[in-house]
Structure 1
Amino acid sequence: MSGQIKRLKRELKFEGKIINFYQDTMEIDGDHTVVWDYIQHKGAAAVVPITDDGRILMVKQYRNALERNTLEIPAGCLNTEDEPGVVCAKRELEEETGYRSDDLEWLITLRTTVAFCNEKIEVFVAKNLIPSKQNLDDDEFIDLKAYTIEELKKKIFTGEIEDGKTISALLAYDTKLRQSE
């Protein structure tokens, strides 16, 4: 393991809507330099919405990077880097599912790709859902459906669900659920 790593320079290469892409020039052990990619992300929040009968609301939406629809828990970017995750989770719950809740509990915090990105996603569980109105962004087209945790675990282990935040959140919820029984 390297003894000392020091950033010599950070150069912005691209400024995007969701991310900023930098190249960092790093000095390793004082004797050589390397260039590392760094993606800055302002953060996100996600929510595992639990219906009164114990099912989980999931959103199916098109993901451009994969060129197909994916099945995920509701999630979205923070409006600002200092926005509390629970505020974002409440907003995304209502926007994407048409339900709101005042009963959100922190479940897990994820760092999605630590090798080159600082993205942090706080995940909450929402219970006591109250019907509201879906309010999708202009670029969102979402289908909503409720599943049991067993149905979702089967979808994870057959490869139908591949999204990392969704897999982590559902398995963490399942573990926590079993521990509380």
Structure 2
Amino acid sequence: MTGSGTEPTPGPLADEYAPIEPVESTRVFEGRVWDLRRDSLEYGDGRIVRDYVDHTGAVAVLALDDDDRAFLIKQYRHPVRTRDWEIPAGLLDVDGEPPLEAAKRELAEEADLEADDWSVLTEFWNTPGGSNEAIRVYLARGLRATAEPFPREAEEADMEARWVPLDELVEAVLARRVQNAAVVIAALAASASRAVGWSTLAPADAPWPAHPKLGRPTG
């Protein structure tokens, strides 16, 4: 049985980079954290226009202790009017800062934790139909407390922290009790990777070709 569309590409299942440069690209809104961009491009038999969030990208950290418990924080998120359970995460908004260093910074700032063992767990695009935001999720193990707690303000001032067994976290994901994309993806990826002896992990400094601004060729 076949569906609609072109003939399938042979070989392993993988996304395909399609370097279609826009004929025109305009920043229509400059925000505090990210911008809105309007691109006009030739596609198929005509020209199409697409608006999207132009994003710096982000990193997230699934920190697991020696008992396979994940460190979670509960934080207020205004767009969805919810205090959701999350893993430490943050923007790649420091010029020249490697993603791994950003992940270490976020773990310290949001969890007061450092880690000796870092690996790439998974990567994803948050909303590829409307944003170029790419997120890399690291697995951090060999945890220890930072020398000093990090001062927090705004939505971070009243964050709640909790250690949750990985199996319990997966159960909460499958029961739809937690909805944060990074938590959902990280929990399922970690459970699947653990089942095969963590053989799917990549080095912490592995290239990131899926990031539109860090990993892809320009020009």
Alignment TM-score, normalising by the size of structure 2: 0.75
Match of 2:215 in 1: none
Q: Does 1:157 align with 2:171?
A: no
Contact 2:59/2:92 (CA < 8 Å) preserved in 1? yes
- The alignment's C-alpha RMSD in Å is 2.2
Q: Which is richer in strand? A: 1
Structure 1 residues 14 and 127 mapped into 2: Cα distance closer, same or farther (>3 Å)?
A: same
Corresponding residue pairs, total: 179
Moved more, 78-87 or 39-48: 78-87
- Residue 65 of structure 1 aligns to a residue whose secondary structure is helix
Contact 1:6/1:28 (CA < 8 Å) preserved in 2? no
List alignment gaps of at least 5 residues for structure 2: 7-19, 199-219
Contact 1:42/1:80 (CA < 8 Å) preserved in 2? no
2: CA distance between counterparts of 1:81 and 1:38? 22
Match of 1:125 in 2: 139
2: CA distance between counterparts of 1:42 and 1:137? 22
Q: How does 1:74-93 map to 2 (within 5 A)?
A: 74-80=88-94, 82-93=96-107
Once the two structures are TM-superposed, the CA of residue 155 in structure 1 deviates from its matched residue by: 1.1
Aligned with 1:58 (options 43, 61, 72): 72
Alignment TM-score, normalising by the size of structure 1: 0.89
1: CA distance between counterparts of 2:149 and 2:140? 16
Provide the identity percentage.
30
Aligned AA (1:154):
E
Aligned AA (2:34):
I
Aligned with 1:167 (options 184, 205, 213): 184
Moved more, 61-70 or 16-25: 16-25
1: CA distance between counterparts of 2:128 and 2:151? 30
Q: How does 1:1-181 map to 2 (within 5 A)?
A: 7-29=22-44, 32-80=46-94, 82-132=96-146, 133-139=148-154, 140-141=156-157, 142-180=159-197
2: CA distance between counterparts of 1:15 and 1:90? 28
Once the two structures are TM-superposed, the CA of residue 110 in structure 1 deviates from its matched residue by: 1.3
List alignment gaps of at least 5 residues for structure 1: none
Moved more, 160-169 or 63-72: 160-169
